[in-house]
Chain A
Amino acid sequence: MRSFFKSAGFKVLLAFLAFLIGIMIYAVTKGGYAVSGESFINTITKPFRSVSNNISMKIESSLDKMNNADKYYEENQELKKQISELNKQLAEYDALKEEAEELKKFVTIKEEHEDYVIPAPCKVLGYTTNDPFMSFTINKGSADGILPDCPVVTAENLIGITTEVSEHMSTVETILSPDLSIAAVCASSTGDYGIVEGSVASALEGRTRLVHLPKDNQLKKGDLMVTTGTSGLFPKGYALGTVESIGYEETGLSMYAELEPGIDITRLSSVFVITDFSGKKDYSDED
């Protein structure tokens, strides 16, 4: 052992280790952009990850259906009633036409919000391994005009924000993460407001949390919370989720509500990234 530490080989290994630490430090200084080595890995493995993830998602989906058939049947019945009351168009939703529907919604968003700059729909390549907050990668990056801190949405719901952008791929942090804080207001007449901020316990159940709610709030189960747009980071009026339950914070000074996102964040196939919108603030200089 002692001879090893004195050998030239040990010095070579130390130099290699220093080189790796150098890469790591360099990666820290990139501020949201992937280093070229990571971009290279992403570019090479992108098609394989896409195919493999499709297969895996189908298997998961089939197993999930088999395991929870009864539970899903009940949920389905309940949701059907709710959907038909709220929006008859959603009742016609067909899983087989999912991609075509997304494209239609893309056109709708563009028509309704002329100020939005949205690249073509982004495909979800895969979820980050063992991440309880369900961050995922999409198949578009800086080459498509995507920057760090761009809001990621579906037609009706806010999904999260881009955090790390490489040339052809980006990582998205979801609203389940405690690292993301979004000002939210109740879409109904009560006008109650709070901050949507994920928590560990909620994220493990696929939910997020509305915190800093005033004690005298009038929220009730089923109320829809939407973005306020005051931060300039997210556009106004995007759905964040519906209230599932309300409780007191540990301090007893304010209340919190469990929010059920309007879309299953663990089963996304495509999303949109809004690269610009009126009222957007640029935080890059402050970073």
Chain B
Amino acid sequence: MRIKTTREKRIFYIKGILRWTLYYVLIFFSFIIMTSGTWTKPILLIPIAMCIAAENNRYGAVVTAAICGFLIDTACGRLFGYNAVLLTIFSILISLLFELYLKHKFVNYILLTSAVSYIQCRLDYRFYYQIWGYEGVEKIFTSVLLKAWVYTVISAVFIYLIFKLINRFLMPRTHLTIEEAITKIQTK
């Protein structure tokens, strides 16, 4: 086992607190942007939840995804908890995929975020518009929801860059102890 010094532990905690504070500041501002004005806006909280799920502790990411979901419900006037359930499920899946199968690469992130936001968009359309059988309902999908999905995917690029920057400075790096390094070399 690697023994951490008191100083290392303190830096680890401070970095962790700072990182999560910045995440939540970003979440808060994204929510404010989402609730301002009347133009079609991206659902910024989806790429944020996905970014956090891809890089962080699974439990923290799941709770954050649920919070993001609740905020989306409030901003979009949806049933309170609907998007929270969706994002929680997606967050667990994304976290597992990155842990077991995928590398932390931009392409993987953008593909998964696009898929997740498209599924969210389709479900939103299905449960909030199509199911009621409004006349010409497909126009809502093409004129509003699809546009919002495209904006979400575009905004995901910038959100990825912001998170990359935050994580570069504040994500604790994993170091190998001498024993771990020796074991690794021996197993090769």
Nearest-Cβ distance from residue B73 to partner chain A, whole angstroms: 7
Chain B contacts with A in 55-69, Cβ cutoff 8 A: 58-59, 62-63, 66, 69
Interface 1/0 per residue, B24-61 and A, CB below 8 Å? 00001001111111111101000000000000001100
Of listed B37, B70, B136, residue having the most chain A CB within 10 A: B37
Does B144 sit at the interface, judged by CB under 8 A? yes
Cα–Cα distance between A222 and B63 once the two chains are bound (Å): 54
Nearest-Cβ distance from residue A42 to partner chain B, whole angstroms: 7
Q: Is the CB of B136 within 8 A of A200?
A: yes
Cα–Cα distance between A247 and B136 once the two chains are bound (Å): 16
Q: Is the CB of A4 within 8 A of B96?
A: yes
Q: Number of contacting residues on B, CB 8 A?
A: 49
Pick from A34, A38, A200: contact of B137, CB below 8 A.
A200
Q: 8 A-B contacts, Cβ less than 8 Å apart?
A: A16-B66, A20-B85, A24-B85, A38-B74, A53-B36, A55-B36, A129-B76, A131-B77
Q: Number of contacting residues on A, CB 8 A?
A: 51
B76 and chain A: residue at smallest CB distance: A129
Q: Is the CB of B80 within 8 A of A201?
A: no
Pick from A16, A25, A49, A199: contact of B35, CB below 8 A.
A49
Nearest-Cβ distance from residue A43 to partner chain B, whole angstroms: 11
Q: Is the CB of A23 within 8 A of B81?
A: yes
Q: Is the CB of A49 within 8 A of B140?
A: no
Interface 1/0 per residue, B62-102 and A, CB below 8 Å? 11001001110111110111101100110010001000100
Main secondary structure of the interface of B (DSSP, over half): helix
Cα–Cα distance between A70 and B58 once the two chains are bound (Å): 55
Interface 1/0 per residue, A8-37 and B, CB below 8 Å? 010011001100110111111000001101
Q: Is the CB of B135 within 8 A of A199?
A: yes
A5 and chain B: residue at smallest CB distance: B96
Q: Is the CB of B62 within 8 A of A129?
A: no
Interface 1/0 per residue, B132-165 and A, CB below 8 Å? 1011110110011100100000000000000000
Does A87 sit at the interface, judged by CB under 8 A? no
Cα–Cα distance between A12 and B34 once the two chains are bound (Å): 31
Q: Is the CB of B137 within 8 A of A20?
A: no
A128 and chain B: residue at smallest CB distance: B77
Nearest-Cβ distance from residue B62 to partner chain A, whole angstroms: 6
Does A60 sit at the interface, judged by CB under 8 A? yes
Beyond A12-B59, A25-B81, A52-B33, 9 extra complex contacts between A and B, CB < 8 Å: A4-B96, A24-B85, A49-B35, A125-B35, A129-B34, A130-B148, A178-B134, A178-B135, A204-B144
Chain B contacts with A in 117-145, Cβ cutoff 8 A: 129, 132, 134-137, 139-140, 143-145
B133 and chain A: residue at smallest CB distance: A178
Cα–Cα distance between A37 and B40 once the two chains are bound (Å): 26
Nearest-Cβ distance from residue B139 to partner chain A, whole angstroms: 5
A52 touching B35 in the complex, CB below 8 Å, given contacts A20-B85, A28-B79: yes
Cα–Cα distance between A188 and B30 once the two chains are bound (Å): 48
Cα–Cα distance between A128 and B140 once the two chains are bound (Å): 15
